[in-house]
Structure 1
Amino acid sequence: MRARGSFFKELANFLDWEKVLDNDKFSAGRRHIVALLTCFWCGLGPPARVQGVVAAWKDQATTKMSEELQADFEGGDSGASNVYPAQCSSLRKNGHVVIKGRACKIVEMSTSKTGKHGHAKVHLIGIDLFTGKKYEDICPSTHNMDVPVVKRADYQLIDISDDGYLSLMKDTGELRDDIRLPDGDLGSDIKNKFENNEDLLLTVLAAMEEEMVVATKPNMK
């Protein structure tokens, strides 16, 4: 009966490792196990050819994982693409963070001393970008929190409908009519200036699928 070590030596010599590596029927884990078991059963350590193939497999696996993670980030649903993770300790006052599911501006933050479990904690106070409501949260400094992607854009005011919706024009000439006149003093100011035939640019703040006019200025064009 052929010795087990001899059998695996012959297998190591004659098996086409490149085909094993490229064979879609072999999962990543199986390819790794097949390569390692075969070469170690030989008793002499991994042959150079096997080592090269295993190294190539690791490179491929690392590259594929990076590509898949990037694809997940770019191709996820709209909610996921509106935030990104950041370590809590990297956040700063006047920056942005998601607290209780809301996009907030950080107005206060403090860090406690490292406790007996080895984690300092960050106390965050934020103001909702759209409602002005105050939110608070406490997070270990080494943990991640979601940060909203916040954008600002200027639009020329074209009209104000009877039901309070604004007709806005982008630089490209494209019109949109889905943003309401803001409440309070800002809304009253916009309406009064528009009725006095002033040419206005409105600044629209956007974050986490919400939008709101936050400022106005004369259109100097």
Structure 2
Amino acid sequence: MSDDHQQTFEQASAGASATFPMQCSALRKNGHVVIKGRPCKIVDMSTSKTGKHGHAKVHLVAIDIFTGKKLEDLSPSTHNMDVPNVVRNEYQLMNIDDGFLNLLTADGGEKNDVKVPEGEIGDQIQAAFDNGDDIMVTEHCLGWKPAPKS
């Protein structure tokens, strides 16, 4: 036998997958799911009883987290659906400087690239900061990149 074997392995990214599968019956309200290729937050769901064809169905109503558009899906409860990876980070507000939040990370670092939100939320943050309240800022990051429009 020859030892002249040459094998090539394609390299994969070390990052986490953008989604993971979850059985439809395990999804919950206020959780996340991918519907029609879009990452969504579940706002309502209901399960129908098993019919004559043997599968209970789950009716999902969800809001696209990027566009705010309402999407619906109907799926057998035993089927898997994609769930986007959502990472939650919390920061303590240290200062507001030239329209940007100066945030303290959990490991003691600084994050200074977040603008004060416009509108009512921004006004509430500014008022609480001016009042001397301790403010925690929560960031939800998705391991998600929307598909390019064709």
Shorter-chain TM band: 0.5 to 0.7
The two structures, once aligned, show a CA RMSD in angstroms of 3.7
Which structure has the greater CA radius of gyration? 1
Residue 80 of structure 2 is matched in structure 1 by 144
Equivalent-residue separation in structure 2 for 1:97 and 1:177 (angstroms)? 31
The counterpart of 2:60, out of the listed 124, 127, 134, is: 124
Equivalent-residue separation in structure 2 for 1:117 and 1:24 (angstroms)? 56
Residue 123 of structure 2 is matched in structure 1 by 188
- 1:148-207 Cα offsets, whole Å, 9 max, x none, are 223322212133343x43221113221123333334422210022223444422222223
- Quickly say closer, same or farther: Cα 1:93–1:206, change in 2 above 3 A: same
Residue 92 of structure 2 is matched in structure 1 by 156
The answer to whether the 8 Å contact 2:84/2:144 transfers is: no
Gaps of 5+ in 1: 1-18, 26-71, 211-221
- Quickly say closer, same or farther: Cα 1:76–1:112, change in 2 above 3 A: farther
Residue 104 of structure 2 is matched in structure 1 by 169
1:24 to partner: Cα distance: 9.0
One-letter amino acid matched to 1:192: A
One-letter amino acid matched to 1:98: V
Equivalent-residue separation in structure 1 for 2:133 and 2:68 (angstroms)? 28
The answer to whether the 8 Å contact 1:103/1:208 transfers is: no
Going by fraction, where is strand more abundant, 1 or 2? 2
Whether 1:179 aligns to 2:114 is: yes
- 1:67-91 Cα offsets, whole Å, 9 max, x none, are xxxxx9xx6475x623211121222
The answer to whether the 8 Å contact 2:85/2:144 transfers is: no
Equivalent-residue separation in structure 1 for 2:113 and 2:4 (angstroms)? 49
Gaps of 5+ in 2: 6-10, 146-150
- Quickly say closer, same or farther: Cα 1:132–1:180, change in 2 above 3 A: farther
2:125 counterpart SS class: helix
Aligned pair count?
143
1:186 counterpart SS class: helix
The counterpart of 2:71, out of the listed 111, 135, 146, is: 135
Structure 2 length normalisation: TM-score?
0.67
1:114 to partner: Cα distance: 4.8
Going by fraction, where is helix more abundant, 1 or 2? 1
2:28 counterpart SS class: coil
List, as ranges, runs of 4+ consecutive aligned residues in structure 1 with deviation greater than 6 Å. Answer: none
- Quickly say closer, same or farther: Cα 1:89–1:180, change in 2 above 3 A: same
Structure 1 length normalisation: TM-score?
0.49
Whether 1:203 aligns to 2:138 is: yes
Equivalent-residue separation in structure 2 for 1:207 and 1:157 (angstroms)? 22
Range moving further from structure 2, 105-114 or 186-195: 105-114
- Quickly say closer, same or farther: Cα 1:168–1:24, change in 2 above 3 A: farther
Task: State the percentage of identical aligned residues.
Answer: 55
Of structures 1 and 2, the one scoring higher in RCO (CA 8 A, sep 6+) is 2
